[in-house]
Chains A and B, each alone.
Chain A
Amino acid sequence: DVKVTQSSRYLVKRTGEKVFLECVQDMDHENMFWYRQDPGLGLRLIYFSYDVKMKEKGDIPEGYSVSREKKERFSLILESASTNQTSMYLCASSLGGRADQDIQYFGAGTRLSVL
């Protein structure tokens, strides 16, 4: 089974703090993704990466950055946390290859509260 592990289930941070959200996958997947989920808005793509040290902006990258130094690890960084970044953050990975067979597998999520 594919396992996507997010380091924290719950985090509480202060406004202005630098926040790191970590994600590790164990299936040698090429692609990794960060989404946030907010009530009434569904899941929105923040950043994704299709290779080590490669990153691409998603739909809502403002206020975030990412790092992928190793294939299995994808980090989301909030440079200066703000209250509007309070959300559920979801990491996902996919194998890559044929587009019509590429399934994303999700971690359990990190619920971040910025006070």
Chain B
Amino acid sequence: DQQVKQNSPSLSVQEGRISILNCDYTNSMFDYFLWYKKYPAEGPTFLISISSIKDKNEDGRFTVFLNKSAKHLSLHIVPSQPGDSAVYFCAASAGGGADGLTFGKGTHLIIQP
């Protein structure tokens, strides 16, 4: 049973526009959420995170929104740039990072010139 779901395998966005990547979760014990970015043949790199006590976290062009009642989070990238083309993974943890992360299947973001 998939506890973290990214329902869009791919997303195509024009350069300069906003990219919105979505993630849903089912485990109400999750209290920490992260987004990772992955290029081919490289390991995932940390992008941004949010604690369940917040509903928004912003870092430069990247903003993550958390809606706990809907068990939904989203990553906004504004403006989108060609270097943002990558696979984005949503991840969640419950009760402490030492237990490992539960990942979604990823969304392949393609930024078109």
Contacts and interface: CB of A to CB of B under 8 A. Distances in A.
* Co-complex (A, B): yes
Contact of A99 (B45, B91, B96): B96
Contact of B31 (A41, A100, A103): A100
A4 B100 contact: no
Interface stretch (A14-22, A76-84, A106-114): A106-114
A107 B43 contact: yes
A94 B106 contact: no
Contacts of A43: 44, 89, 91, 101, 103
A48 B31 contact: no
Nearest to B51: A100
Contacts of A59: 102
Interface in A8-58: 9, 30-31, 33, 35, 40-45, 48, 50, 56, 58
Interface string B35-79: 010000111111001011100000000000000000000000000
Nearest to A90: B43
Interface residues of B, number: 31
Given A99-B95, A103-B49, A41 B105 contact: yes
B97 interface: yes
A94 B43 contact: no
Contacts of A100: 31-32, 51-53
Contacts of A111: 41
Contacts of A35: 103
A42 B45 contact: no
A99 B100 contact: no
Given A99-B93, A106-B44, A31 B98 contact: yes
A104 interface: yes
A42 B104 contact: yes
5 contacts: A9-B41, A50-B98, A59-B102, A100-B52, A109-B41
Rank and list the top 10 A-B pairs by shortest CB-CB distance, nearest first. A102-B97, A106-B43, A100-B51, A42-B105, A99-B96, A43-B103, A45-B100, A50-B98, A42-B103, A48-B100
